[in-house]
Amino acid sequence: MKRRPKVLLAAALAVAAATATAFFALPAGAETATFTVTNSWNNGYQGQVTVGNDTSSAISTWKVELTLPAGTTVGQAWNATISSAGNTVTFTPAGWNATIAAGASTSFGFIANGSGRPTSCLVNGKACTGVTTPSSPAASSPGASASPSASPSTPTSGTPVGVNGQLRVCGTKLCNESGSAVQLKGMSTHGLQWFPSCYTDASLDVLANDWNADLFRISMYVQEGGYETNPSGFTAQVNNLVEKATARGLYALVDFHILTPGDPNFNLERAKTFFREVSARHASKKNVIYEIANEPNGVSWAQITSYAEQVIPIIRANDPDAVVVVGSRGWSSLGVSEGGSSSEIISNPVNASNVMYAFHFYAASHQANYRAEVERAAASIPLFVTEFGTVSYTGDGAVDVASTNAWFDLLDRLKISYANWTYSDASEGSAAFRPGTCNAGSFAGTGSLTESGALLRNRIRA
């Protein structure tokens, strides 16, 4: 099975829209800080602060001090460290985000217990010229394909990650922090080297808030002009997209996208370097899932397990709790596309815990016999459809609506998570957007969607 470069779609849990924004500005030429309420509920809210550098030189560190009214406290934060004295909460860098280049910015988020908005702000010790005023938060409307154990009045009722927390493998299912089986649904990027304009704040806002997705697959090609040409640059791109997903409460599936050559061991040292750096950066996050080999092909299952059992310990050294997805033989077809079956995985699973196995399909090409194999395998091993298309295995052609819906029905019944190829405007039948959409920045609504995009958006939102 050969394919053109492609990516996955991902979607699932509903994310509440931003409810309030205030701008704290220092005198011209100094730092700025923007505070936004990204989600709210009866007794609290989720806030985000973006610290910007409007100067002509880099800022080596930063500190934001927010004063909250009596009765409101900050319980947790991400991308920042916190300390409190009285009603003042101080946020300082997490380490990696201390330096802000000229004209650049960095963001952090927090959960507030209580409805009071900040009444004053300091950025690097200088008084802000504007303040927010306390207001009543709008009630959030949680949505998820999993059943949250907490009530909507708690912080866990908002974003997909807020609802489900740290995921783990339990038996043959993907489970949330409370042990309930969950099904993530979402979209995948195309190759980052080809479609960077498709993955902006605006497009991810649409994915989270309009599509109601809970999963964003970050597809980083290793060959074909990808990682091997600029390891530090592509690592930075991936890290940036993980941060964007985190800020929106989405799960981020980091895809080490190997395709040609099909032996993952060809990229073993690259994989060790990449996953060592990325897992160290995001070790404290609950939303990162690692897909360590996109589509192995032309190799034995023993070669794939050898690769996996060398890469997984690299991730575990930094992040012992993250779910890891291992590609299967025959372009992640459980071996079917090369005349095999899932029996080889069932009888010889990867020697590691918290592991799932990837299955990929393209609805116009892979039909009843592939669905039968997935049903059989799912009774014994945990599966994750990290990539699928509504068209043929080339990533192009007409949408096969009947086969796609048959796949949806099967995956929903078995509670198997999935990401669709592709959240891009590529000139391919699998693309979600019409060509030119990304450069125009017009992602919202249905006017710019292809037939495949409209089908996925409707299914995810439903």
Cα–chain center distance at 415: 19
Smallest CA-to-CA distance from 358 within 392, 335, 338, 340 is with 335
Task: Match 């029996």 to its residue by tokens.
Answer: 343
Residue 295 is a catalytic residue: yes
> Could you tell me if 353 and 326 are in contact, meaning their C-beta atoms sit under 8 angstroms apart?
no
Beta bridge partners of 91: 64, 82
- Give the length of the chain: 462
Which helix (H) or strand (E) segment is 406 a member of? helix 401-414
Burial, 383: exposed, middle or buried (Cβ in 10 Å; 0-12, 13-18, 19+)?
buried
Beta bridge partners of 21: 36
Residue 387 is a catalytic residue: yes
Q: What is the dihedral of CA 453, 458, 459, 462, to 10 degrees?
A: 160
329 by DSSP, 3-state: which?
helix
Residue of 177, 277, 295, 344 with catalytic role: 295
299 by DSSP, 3-state: which?
coil
d(CA 146, CA 158): 13
The Cβ-side half-sphere exposure at 435, using a 13 Å CA radius, reads 4
Helix, strand, coil percentages, rounded to 5, for the chain: 30, 25, 45
d(CA 190, CA 432): 11
Amino acid letter for position 260: T
The C-alpha R_g of the chain, in whole angstroms, comes to 22
> Could you tell me if 68 and 106 are in contact, meaning their C-beta atoms sit under 8 angstroms apart?
no
β-strands 126-127, 120-123: how paired? antiparallel
Residue of 65, 373, 387, 428 with catalytic role: 387
- List residues with catalytic annotation: 295, 387
